A and B are shown apart, each in its own frame.
Chain A
Amino acid sequence: MRRGGSSVLVPAALVAGSVLALTPLVWMVSASLMRPGEASEFPPPFWPSRPTLGNYVELFTRLSLGRALANSLLIASATTLGVLLLNSMAGYAFAKLRFGGRERLFRILVAALVIPAPVAMLPLFLMLRSVGLVNTYLGAILPGTAGILGIFLIRQFARSIPDDVLDAARLEGAGELRIYWTIVLPLLRPVLATLAIITFLATWNDFVWPLVVLTDESRYTLPVALASLVAEHVPDTELMMAGSVLTVLPVLLLFLLLQKQYIQGITLGGVKE
């Protein structure tokens, strides 16, 4: 769309932008491989003189971040499964099942998307506390399953399922649950993959809620564990970078693997009806 003369400038600007985007991440990995204290030499080195995995060993032995890694995996996976199930059912219902007030109810939900989530945080904490779910995995998982965005995504996609297919199954006497399980879910597979990766990344990266609801160190997720470690280990740059790599790497890899589905979901969510 821009006119000529920029055949050198445009690629140069793109490369410069990429360098700025990647440098913090590259340095994070590089510093995580340095000897203790090496990053605090002057002038600060960018690459380790002799790369070592010692910091990672220490993370898993002395600081037991392996536990936090397992917690993060558990909480993010369970939340994702919950969201997939609840949102696919509701999204399918909004797209294909007829009932009174359907459109109005859906519009209320979409309007609720603009409510900032932290507003719900204090009462949610008190509610979960009264039923004994504070400082439990379930307490960390449940609020994440109350997703609205996923219902929206699934509904958009489920509208393309032909009614004939569903009606034919009904004529053959299939129950609604069976239709949903054996016909609808398989057809929804692409959008379910999209929703799964979006939910997993969001839950993995979430900080405020696990910080509030998990009080026992052995239940901390990686971001919470990392934030509390940094407060104690300020001068240990290399160790903290290893902790950051451990936190970021799983989601970065997942994104690179499922990039297409993820970006599709993001642009789909951004397009209004």
Chain B
Amino acid sequence: MFLAPGLTAILVLFLVPIAAALLLSLTDFDIYALGDTANVRFVGLRNYARLLADPLLWKAMRNTALFLFVGGPLTIGVALAAALLLQSRAARLRGLFRTIFFAPYVTTLVAVAVVFRYLYHPRFGLIDHALGRLGVPPIDWLGDPRWAMPAIILLAVWKNFGYATILLVAGLQAIPESLYEAARLEGAGWWQLFRRITIPLLSPTLLFLGVLTTIGYFQFFAEPYVMTGGGGPLNATLSVGLLMYKAGFRWWSMGYAAAVAFVLFVVVLGLTAIQFRLQSRSGA
């Protein structure tokens, strides 16, 4: 009785749509079907065949992979550095710094994407202005296909590292100090302590962050939507999520878009499974 409302909501609003997405991806549901569902035809795997031959998908996959495999480790790396600093004996005002690092994470992505869009402006943006003082020639961050993805990755690192920091601090606090003391007595240096104690004992937290980052970063959407006018320049920032949105809600090729959604689903599932496998193999 207590479960019924919540589970019904999850079933109707989440699990059934997931199953329906699979069915949808096997049809040619388009703008005509939107008018009259009698126009829907079952097309088997044709959407997938078309999709795998679509250069846009591969472009989006490459950009998304870049975002995930560069942005993800960078975010967690910066967060680990921040967490180690916060937990260092020399740190003061820990609560204040923790709050400051965390603040970007709670902000609205669309709003800060707008802010960064202006910060990245090649003439009036503060980033190029600051770099100019250091003698770096202006970079057209969002207008140059080579720099657009790095610009979006930097925004993501800035926005998300505080979240990972909080979890890593909690992980660090759970490591007993006596382990470090014992290792120090045996003459271990800072790097050895870090490699032999800190990293292995943090690995559950790192796995959790890895999985979460994979799921979250693989869906990135709002950054290119707001900052580069929907995936520009020259599709240099087109993401899989954005491709799905455009196919589904701009071109109304919903069958095709559902196929994109399922490719996204399968890749995320695969990457998550690999991380769990790696974790259990390392035996931590």
Contacts and interface: CB of A to CB of B under 8 A. Distances in A.
Interface string B96-134: 010111111011111110111111000111100100000
Interface stretch (A54-62, A159-167, A187-195, A219-227): A219-227
B151 interface: no
B183 to A, nearest CB: 11
**Dominant SS among interface residues on chain A:** helix
A145 to B, nearest CB: 5
B18 A21 contact: no
A17 B61 CA distance: 32
B125 A44 contact: yes
A127 B17 contact: yes
A14 B244 contact: no
Given A90-B2, A145-B13, A252-B103, A114 B211 contact: yes
A2 B264 contact: no
Interface residues of B, number: 94
Interface in B210-224: 211, 215, 218-219, 221-222
A121 B261 contact: yes
B9 interface: yes
Q: Is the interface of B mostly helix, strand, loop or mixed?
A: helix
A120 B167 CA distance: 29
Contacts of B126: 23, 27, 44, 46
A230 B117 contact: yes
B15 interface: yes
Interface-centre pick from B18, B29, B115, B218 (highest chain A CB count, 10 A): B115
A124 B17 contact: yes
B6 A2 contact: no
Given A21-B158, A180-B2, A6 B129 contact: no
Given A1-B88, A10-B85, A123-B17, A247 B111 contact: yes
Interface in B139-166: 158, 162-163, 166
Interface in A24-83: 24-25, 27-28, 31, 39-44, 46
